[in-house]
Structure formats: C-alpha cells, structure tokens
C-alpha cells in the first residue's frame, strides 16, 4: 500500500506545522479569536493526478484527499476508507436524491460563437448547478464531514455517543448554508446556521425543512465592527461547536474537498490545456481550490479572480501587495493588504459580496504564478453574463454563479479568439 500523499499542514503566515494525523486541526495553532490572520495549506508529495474513474470525485480522487491521509493515520484500511466515503455519500443521496458525481464540463459552442471565439478556442463551462445543495459549496464541506465522522468512528472524538455530538455551526444565508444543512441532515448531525435579519425567506424555509436550527443575528449594541453572523458563529465555535465553514481561516479542511472541482476539470480536459480560467471570488476558498486542483492536474491557466465594483477587497490587496514585492511577500503584510471593504454596495451577484477575501493568500499566489490578474466587473457585466450565459447554455445559474463569465466579458478585448477559457457556473438560480 502506498504512503499517504498528504502529510500535514503548514501555515503560510507563521510557519506552524500540523501533522495529518491530528484530529480537528481546523485552524492554525497560533490563530486566536483576536487574530485570525493565519492560513493553513496542505503539505503533500508530488504524484500525477489520476482518477479511479468512479463518478464520485471523493472516491475517484480519494488518494489525493488530505482526508484519506488522516483516515489512514487513524488506522482505517484502504477498504475501510473507501467504504466510509461511499457510506456517507449514500446518506447524502438519501437526502438529496443523488450523491456527489463528476459534474459536466464542456465547450459551449453557442457561448463561444456569441463571444467571437475561433474553432480552436472557446469557452468551457463547468456546471455545478446540479451538485449536492445546488452549488459547489458541498465539495468544501464534505471533507470536513468525512474528517468528523472518521474521528468519531476511530474513537478520536471527545464525545462517546452520537447524542453528545457538538453542533455544527456556519454563518451563511446562501448556498453554503443549504449545502451544510443538507450534509448535516444526511448524518443526523445538529447544525446551527447563523443568518442576517435580511435573509431570503425561501432559503431559511429550506434550511428549516432540512432540520437546521436557524439563528437570526441582529447587530447588537455591544458588537465590534463586522458581520454579526460571524460574531455569533465564532462565539458558538468558542463554546464548542464545530466550524462547518467554507472559509479556510475558520476551517482549513474546507480547502481539501474543494479541490475536487479542479481535479475534475483537469481530468475532463484530457490533456488539452486551458489558457485562462475566470473564477468569481467572495471569500476566496472556491478560487483557491479551483487553482490548486488544476495545478495538481498539471494545468496552470492564467487565473482571473472576479469581483464586482460593489466589493473588491482582493483587487485592492493585489494592488497593495505590489509595493511589498508582490504575492510572495504578501503573507507578511496581511493587515496592510487585506481588510474589510468599507462600503459594500449591492449586486445581483450577492454571493460574492464578502467584505473580506478570507482565503486571499492562495488566490493571490495562484494569480501571480499563472500570470493572471484580478478583474473587477461592473453591474452591467454581471447582468449580461447571467443573461448570455444562461441563454446560450440552457443552465439555470444564479448571477453569482455566472459572475466569472462577467470577468471574461470585461477582459474580452485582451483575450485572443483561439484561447481556451474556462468558467464555472457555480450555483443554481433559486
Ligand atoms: C454560487 C457561488 N459561487 C461562488 C461563490 C464564491 O465562493 P467563495 O466565497 O469561496 O469565494 C459563492 C459563495 O457564496 C457562491 O454561492
Ligand atoms: Zn499560523
């Protein structure tokens, strides 16, 4: 049996290391409630990416998951690891109607024609709208769930019966909340979802149907600046809840499963490299994982991180980091490069209005290594991308889900007709 590929974590900010065998290694050991400016990243050997061809990427690419290394260290045999991942997927299927499958990724001829691409070039669209929970978010969360259930079954958890499980906690009122509640329902794990007072009632209704406890979070007079949902989420985590988060600084294990999307894309391309990939960025975990996954598949297209004029802290960080020597030096200048966007405006792409790009460091690094750049789009681009993207592909994606395409529209004149460009339609229109 081959040695696990992923050996542990290293913080890109303080250099702390955590062995892969350590359970519940959600955050850098030096991250505190006062200072979350730490960024664990995976330490792993180099091995050509390959899939066992199972349709479920968590099975097909299991060897490349950090979770597989953790479960091996916890004493699970290869067969036991495969069985555990398959068992959890069956449970997801019982709630969702289907489990995780490789999602479609193909050239859209209509979209490529509409944008004037030549036959050798074009736009490839990855369709996440029928993934578990209607978006890519469940990919991030499934690796946390795998870790939790493995720790529990291997006797590494401090609780002794399922009745004593600490609740999962997440601050979200969108796709991440639905994905988290779907996965929690699959394994009957209690979950608290911290939502703003303005949360979409259709979403909160769905969360309730999935058995989540929805906690409305009005701003309290005693609150420091920042999102009150995040404050309540962090209080819950301090009190023992599990951070079931899609932000790396809150739970680095979300950065493990998120890579499945890049692994699928790299494999689906069958050796034909992409020139560029445009990825919509909110908290940044998604873009970090797409880039990381593609790179592991031997593909390093120019990464363009797309934000809207209403909220573009990553673009600001990119510009600011230049004065310190660029992405390589950015980790030493976190506070000078990344801080909450002061006045967040509105956008139809409301899923990428995170005032801070939490996972900015890996995205900055990937843009720099790939000769990419951030793209800030106007609201007209967001709206046109959604109209054109959905009409030309027949995919019913949200404006957040098609916001990467808005970046291509904005950069259109700089892109040659024979370039091969990818976008991910990351979430369904609700
Ligand atoms: C559909 C969709 N796409 C993309 C994103 C952005 O992902 P991230 O916050 O990891 O940058 C989100 C986040 O909510 C989303 O819901
Ligand atoms: Zn650290």
Q: Tell me the CA–centroid distance for residue 350 and ligand 1, in Å.
A: 9
Grade residue 204 by pLDDT with cuts at 50, 70 and 90. Answer: very high
131 in the same domain as 141: no
SS3 letters across the chain: CCCCCEEEEEECCCCCEEECCCCCCCCCCCCCCCCCCCCEEEEECCCCCCCCCCCCHHHHCHHHCHHHHHHHHCCCCHHHHHHHHHHHHHHHHHHHCCCCCCCCEEECHHHHHHCCCCCCCEEEEEECCCCHHHECHHHHHHHHHHHHHHHHHCCCCCCCCHHHCCCEEEECCCHHHHHHHHHHHHHCCCEEEEECCCCCHHHHHHHHHCCCEEEECCCCCCCCCCCHHHHHHHHHHHCCCEECCCCCCCCCCHHHHCCHHHHHHHHHCCCCCCCEEEEECCCCHHHHHHHHHHHHCCCCCEEEEEEECCECHHHHHHHHHHCCCCHHHHHHHHHHHCCCCCCCCCCCCHHHCCCCCCCHHHHHHHHHHCCCEEEEECHHHHHHHHHHHHHHHCCCECCCCCHHHHHHHHHHHHCCCCCEEEEEECEECC
Q: What is the pLDDT of residue 168?
A: 98
Residue 4 has pLDDT above 90, yes or no: no
The count of other CB atoms within 10 Å of the CB of residue 336 is: 13
Of the listed ligands, the closest to the CA of 126 is 1
Q: What is the pLDDT of residue 244?
A: 98
Cβ of residue 176 lying under 6 Å from some atom of ligand 1 = yes
The mean per-residue pLDDT over the stretch 108-120 comes to 98
Q: Which atom of ligand 1 is nearest to the CA of 287?
A: 11
Q: Tell me the CA–centroid distance for residue 256 and ligand 1, in Å.
A: 16
What percentage of the chain reaches a pLDDT higher than 90?
97
Residue 1 has pLDDT above 60, yes or no: no
Cβ of residue 306 lying under 6 Å from some atom of ligand 1 = no
pTM: 0.98
Contacts of 31 (CB under 8 A, 6+ apart): 37, 38, 249
The count of other CB atoms within 10 Å of the CB of residue 190 is: 16
Grade residue 59 by pLDDT with cuts at 50, 70 and 90. Answer: very high
334 in the same domain as 188: no
Residue count (the chain): 430
Cβ of residue 285 lying under 6 Å from some atom of ligand 1 = yes
Range of the domain at 292: 105-135+258-425
Cβ of residue 284 lying under 6 Å from some atom of ligand 1 = yes
* pLDDT tens, residue by residue, 331-350: 999 999 999 999 999 999 99
Of the listed ligands, the closest to the CA of 286 is 1
126 in the same domain as 167: no
- 352 and 315 in contact (C-beta within 8 Å)? no
Of the listed ligands, the closest to the CA of 249 is 2
Domain boundary among 254, 283, 310: 254
207 in the same domain as 118: no
157 in the same domain as 113: no
Mean pLDDT of the chain: 97
Q: Which atom of ligand 1 is nearest to the CA of 398?
A: 1
Residue 1, domain member (yes or no)? no
The mean per-residue pLDDT over the stretch 87-98 comes to 98
Q: Which of 172, 196, 286, 374 to mutate to test the pocket of ligand 1 (most atoms within 8 A of CB)?
A: 286
Shortest-distance Cα residue to atom 6 of ligand 1 = 282
376 in the same domain as 313: yes
Contacts of 38 (CB under 8 A, 6+ apart): 11, 13, 14, 16, 27, 28, 30, 31, 249
The mean per-residue pLDDT over the stretch 388-411 comes to 98
The count of other CB atoms within 10 Å of the CB of residue 91 is: 18
Grade residue 2 by pLDDT with cuts at 50, 70 and 90. Answer: confident
Cβ of residue 352 lying under 6 Å from some atom of ligand 1 = yes
CATH number reported for the structural domain that contains residue 300 in this entry: 3.40.50.1100
Residue 332 to residues 226, 327, 387, Cα–Cα distance (Å) = 23, 10, 41
Q: Which residue has the tokens 């068992």?
A: 87
Domain boundary among 254, 272, 304: 254
* pLDDT tens, residue by residue, 253-298: 999 999 999 999 999 998 889 999 999 999 999 999 999 999 999 9
Q: Cα–chain-centroid distance for residue 22? A: 22
Nearest alpha-carbon partner for 326 in 358, 284, 368: 368
Cβ of residue 286 lying under 6 Å from some atom of ligand 1 = yes
What percentage of the chain reaches a pLDDT higher than 70?
100
Shortest-distance Cα residue to atom 12 of ligand 1 = 351
280 in the same domain as 250: no
Nearest alpha-carbon partner for 3 in 20, 16, 24: 20
d(CA 179, CA 176): 5
Grade residue 179 by pLDDT with cuts at 50, 70 and 90. Answer: very high
196 in the same domain as 248: yes
Q: Which atom of ligand 1 is nearest to the CA of 135?
A: 1
Residue 430, domain member (yes or no)? no
The mean per-residue pLDDT over the stretch 387-398 comes to 98
Grade residue 3 by pLDDT with cuts at 50, 70 and 90. Answer: confident
Shortest-distance Cα residue to atom 15 of ligand 1 = 351
Residue 102 to residues 58, 261, 267, 301, Cα–Cα distance (Å) = 9, 8, 10, 21
Domain boundary among 254, 289, 312: 254
Q: Tell me the CA–centroid distance for residue 401 and ligand 1, in Å.
A: 8
Q: What is the pLDDT of residue 328?
A: 93
Residue 316, domain member (yes or no)? yes
Q: What is the pLDDT of residue 395?
A: 98
Q: Tell me the CA–centroid distance for residue 36 and ligand 1, in Å.
A: 20
Q: Tell me the CA–centroid distance for residue 337 and ligand 2, in Å.
A: 17
Cβ of residue 426 lying under 6 Å from some atom of ligand 1 = yes
Q: Which residue has the tokens 């929970």?
A: 133
Shortest-distance Cα residue to atom 13 of ligand 1 = 351
Q: Cα–chain-centroid distance for residue 351? A: 12
Cβ of residue 283 lying under 6 Å from some atom of ligand 1 = yes
Nearest alpha-carbon partner for 164 in 91, 233, 251, 242: 242
Cβ of residue 175 lying under 6 Å from some atom of ligand 1 = yes
Q: What is the pLDDT of residue 25?
A: 98
If one counts the domains in the chain, the total is 2
178 in the same domain as 322: no
Q: Tell me the CA–centroid distance for residue 330 and ligand 2, in Å.
A: 14
């Amino acid at each position: 049996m081959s040695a696990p590929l992923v050996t542990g974590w290293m913080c890109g900010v303080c250099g702390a290391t955590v062995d892969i065998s350590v359970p519940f290694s959600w955050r850098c050991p030096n991250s505190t409630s006062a200072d979350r400016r730490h960024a664990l990243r995976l330490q792993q050997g180099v091995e050509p990416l390959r899939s066992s061809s199972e349709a479920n990427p968590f099975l097909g690419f299991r060897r490349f998951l950090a979770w597989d290394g953790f479960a091996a260290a916890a004493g699970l045999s290869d067969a036991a690891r495969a069985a555990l991942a398959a068992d959890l997927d069956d449970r997801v299927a019982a709630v969702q109607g289907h489990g995780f499958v490789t999602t479609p990724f193909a050239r859209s001829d209509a979209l490529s024609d509409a944008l004037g691409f030549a036959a050798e070039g074009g736009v490839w669209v990855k369709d996440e709208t029928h993934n578990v929970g209607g978006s890519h978010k469940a990919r991030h969360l499934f690796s946390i769930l795998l870790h939790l259930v493995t720790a529990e079954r291997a006797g590494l958890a401090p609780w002794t019966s399922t009745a004593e499980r600490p609740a999962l906690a997440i601050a979200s009122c969108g796709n991440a909340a639905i994905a988290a509640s779907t996965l929690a329902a699959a394994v009957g794990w209690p979950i608290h979802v911290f939502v703003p007072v303005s949360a979409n009632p259709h979403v909160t209704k769905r969360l309730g149907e999935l058995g989540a406890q929805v906690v409305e979070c009005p701003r309290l007079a005693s609150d420091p600046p920042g999102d009150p949902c995040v404050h309540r989420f962090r209080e819950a985590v301090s009190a023992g809840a599990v951070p079931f988060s899609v932000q790396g600084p809150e739970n680095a294990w979300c950065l493990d499963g998120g890579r499945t999307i890049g692994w699928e894309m790299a494999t689906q391309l069958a050796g034909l490299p992409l020139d560029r990939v445009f990825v919509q960025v909110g908290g940044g975990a998604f873009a970090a994982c797409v880039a990381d996954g593609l790179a592991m598949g031997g593909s390093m297209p120019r990464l363009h991180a797309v934000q809207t004029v209403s909220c573009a802290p990553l673009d600001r960080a990119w510009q600011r980091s230049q004065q310190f020597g660029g992405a390589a030096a950015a980790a030493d200048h976190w506070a000078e490069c990344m801080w909450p966007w002061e006045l967040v405006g509105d956008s139809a792409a409301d899923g990428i209005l995170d005032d801070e790009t939490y996972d900015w460091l890996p995205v900055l690094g990937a843009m720099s290594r790939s000769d990419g750049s951030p793209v800030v789009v106007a609201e007209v681009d967001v709206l046109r991308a959604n109209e054109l993207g959905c009409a030309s592909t027949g995919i019913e994606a949200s404006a957040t889900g098609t916001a990467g395409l808005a970046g291509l529209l904005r950069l259109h004149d700089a892109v040659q007709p024979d370039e091969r460009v990818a976008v991910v339609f990351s979430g369904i229109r609700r």
